[in-house]
Amino acid sequence: MKKILVLLGPNLNLVGIREKGIYGTETAESINRDIISRASDDGFDCDIFQSNHEGDLIDKVHESREKYDGVIINAGALTHYSYALRDAIASVSVPFVEVHMSNIHSREEFRHKSVVAPVCRGQICGFGKNSYLLAIKALKDMI
């Protein structure tokens, strides 16, 4: 069975608690259960890892090269400025799909630029938790 990783960055553990007008009221735990269920339905074993620490996320990216067939990443605010995370993604051959629950292109100007997008296969944003589910479909079609 193919194995995928969903990698979640800073503050994504607080989805359902913070900025409900942007991220909704569904909890991170509930969304994670739906992600794992969809991944299983699509024939994937799925791990989810969330950290508020950039280095921990980079370590997981490095680990992905030997452990996973694909990665879905929502780097949170690190999306917009973490060249270290971008370089880590570029250093592995595993396909990455960038995901955001909100439409980053319709939010504050500083959110419009993603430094990780150029090293990902694609970007899905603006569909709430369905952004993750669409990313699973994208990975299924590419791996």
State the catalytic residues. Answer: 23, 100
Residue indicated by tokens 């890892």: 49
Tell me the two tokens of residue 96. Answer: 């990455």
Residue type, 98: E
Q: Using an 8 Å Cβ cutoff, are 142 and 50 in contact? A: no
Sign of the alpha-carbon torsion through 33, 101, 57, 70: positive
Instruction: Locate 72 and state its tokens.
Output: 């879905």
